[in-house]
Structure 1
């Protein structure tokens, strides 16, 4: 005999809707844990079964719809009212003052995880137990010091792609693709060993300048690649956005068993008193939504700031989550906070609404 249909407890749904903002933040925070790093087993539940049970439960669907509505109203209201425009303009101007340090920021955010992976005995991701200690440590230190930066970035990308061919688990560190491409595009920047050596080689009368075999070629290459530097924000946000979407789909929405195991491990239903299904769907949809916003360049700086806040919360909330696995994400999000959206972004089509406009792109790097 079929059970009577469940009635929607209005008061409870309203209370959960009030908690939905906190849920999304905390859920997305847990999402950044890269489930593979913190749990060994997962619940035995199929995607179809999970979605069928979740999407027919009003206590799951109700808060999700309420949260989406609140977000749409907030974004729409901001675009219509356009508050704090002077503050936004001042913030953009302040961020653009740091553009000279973007190459340094990217080198650090890629170099430190490589060194950590080398000493930790894994290949790029803690989930892949292949050892390439000397190679990764060497690449990491070369990136940190900025020596042969573009070449090292290309080699790092090759190592990542080689590891990805061995095991698709490296998709957990997909941000290495845009990170290394961005470094290859920008070079070492300042401060870096490359900058110092180029300055010495370019100074007339120096002994080193007589023996430097690549100075002229390096300058010619820089001249040719300079017109493409404005695409740096586009590369970074597209790569970071794809990373978020990949994690939201691959680690939550299409693999709910492992996400439910994370909810159980950290007793997240005690943090925000909602069902585990709502936790998983909230985390997955939040991650996918944030990834799409970055991918299409919609409120890019706000999305990057949200990502940075989530990463920071993760460090305190999940003690057994490997910190080094997130350093590269910190770097990419911080770079977007500085550069804005760049070309080919929705922000570039929204004139005067306080979002990052394409006009920011020439100042990006």
Structure 2
């Protein structure tokens, strides 16, 4: 693994054409890492990562700044629902207007044609291209405003889940179902239209209180989901970690020909003078390593910060990479950094071990 996060785009399909020829992935990987210079770089990168993990373990016990950071971030938790709504609301709205189905490599027209063949008349009108585009626009707008947030997130989740089994390319946008699920759990939060309507409905003497069509339904739904809100950090880091592992593996290590086109197109070897193969292998291993840390919940905030850097260099470093395609993961990494690891994480195990040893554990 290289000691730096290489700014190779997460979704190489967005910025490249079809390569002239396929390259056997395993054979290419072995040929790259067997070069003495490349092997030395990988060894140096692995040692650097190992040292960083050891330093992190030391800092967890002895650096009070991390505790202050965790305490500060805890004060932002109530803004996470807003962060999540923006992170998928914007790209969902953009997808509806642009005509693609979550990822730019899948068009809404193609999905409509696929579903129309499965639906008998007159139900096939429900999956016509204009209807699907309106559904995307409606979900995106509702999430951005925080209006009927949970219902909108459920619709977005259904849009992804119903098509993913027949369109594997949606795995390129595999973070969406996790973010939608998290929004269902936390609701609209603040600021949101749902909160504003709830405040008006709770205030005696208001006109809306007398005509409120929802009654106490929002309060009952909130109470129903309250016990499950603690799992939101876990859902988000699994979504982010799984996406990084998938993209690093399928878009880099298993697709070296296409990844090499990115290196060639942007002349990345002049930015960092290493073998083009090292760009591909290094980026793939970096993304997989970050993803595995997130999946395990180990050094979660540090891994989320690295993910944030990788995505930021992609967003602003490659001029024709579609920004909207990455906004969801950009917001997801920010939310994971804010919330930390949550339940079922190795960070919790380490914190318990530190506390048992008489040290002062730092939440991660």
Q: TM-score, normalised by structure 1?
A: 0.86
Q: Deviations over 1:89-145 (max 9, x none)?
A: 111111111111110110011110011111212111111122533221111110011
For residues 284 and 155 of structure 1, do their structure 2 counterparts lie closer, same or farther at Cα, with a shift above 3 Å needed?
same
Deviation (angstroms), 1:217: 2.5
CA distance in 2, matches of 1:161, 1:355: 39
Partner residue of 2:13 out of 36, 40, 44: 36
Residues 153 and 184 in structure 1, CA contact (< 8 A), matched pair in contact too: yes
Q: TM-score, normalised by structure 2?
A: 0.87
What residue is the counterpart of 1:96 in the other structure? Answer: 74
For residues 354 and 181 of structure 1, do their structure 2 counterparts lie closer, same or farther at Cα, with a shift above 3 Å needed?
farther
Deviation (angstroms), 1:82: 5.1
> Which ranges in structure 1 are unaligned for 5 or more consecutive residues?
1-16, 359-365
Residues 342 and 357 in structure 1, CA contact (< 8 A), matched pair in contact too: no
What residue is the counterpart of 1:316 in the other structure? Answer: 316
For residues 321 and 355 of structure 1, do their structure 2 counterparts lie closer, same or farther at Cα, with a shift above 3 Å needed?
farther
1:122 paired with 2:100, answer: yes
Q: Deviations over 1:47-90 (max 9, x none)?
A: 23213322432222221122111210221133236586221111
1:294 paired with 2:294, answer: yes
> Which ranges in structure 2 are unaligned for 5 or more consecutive residues?
110-131
Residues 186 and 229 in structure 2, CA contact (< 8 A), matched pair in contact too: yes
1:41 partner SS: coil
1:217 paired with 2:194, answer: no
Deviation (angstroms), 1:315: 2.3
Residues 9 and 314 in structure 2, CA contact (< 8 A), matched pair in contact too: no
Residues 60 and 362 in structure 2, CA contact (< 8 A), matched pair in contact too: no
For residues 55 and 137 of structure 1, do their structure 2 counterparts lie closer, same or farther at Cα, with a shift above 3 Å needed?
same
Q: What pairs up with 1:267-282 in 2 under 5 angstroms?
A: 267-282=267-282
Deviation (angstroms), 1:330: 1.2
Residues 260 and 276 in structure 2, CA contact (< 8 A), matched pair in contact too: yes
1:288 partner SS: helix
Q: 4+ runs of 1 displaced by more than 6 Å? A: none
RMSD value over aligned CA atoms? 2.0
What residue is the counterpart of 1:62 in the other structure? Answer: 40
Q: Deviations over 1:164-223 (max 9, x none)?
A: 234211111111011100100000111111111112222234332233243322212211
What residue is the counterpart of 1:150 in the other structure? Answer: 150
CA distance in 2, matches of 1:119, 1:355: 47
Q: What pairs up with 1:123-202 in 2 under 5 angstroms?
A: 123-131=101-109, 132-202=132-202
Q: Size of the alignment, in residue pairs? A: 335
What residue is the counterpart of 2:128 in the other structure? Answer: none
What residue is the counterpart of 1:25 in the other structure? Answer: 5
Q: Which moved more, 1:55-64 or 1:278-287?
A: 55-64
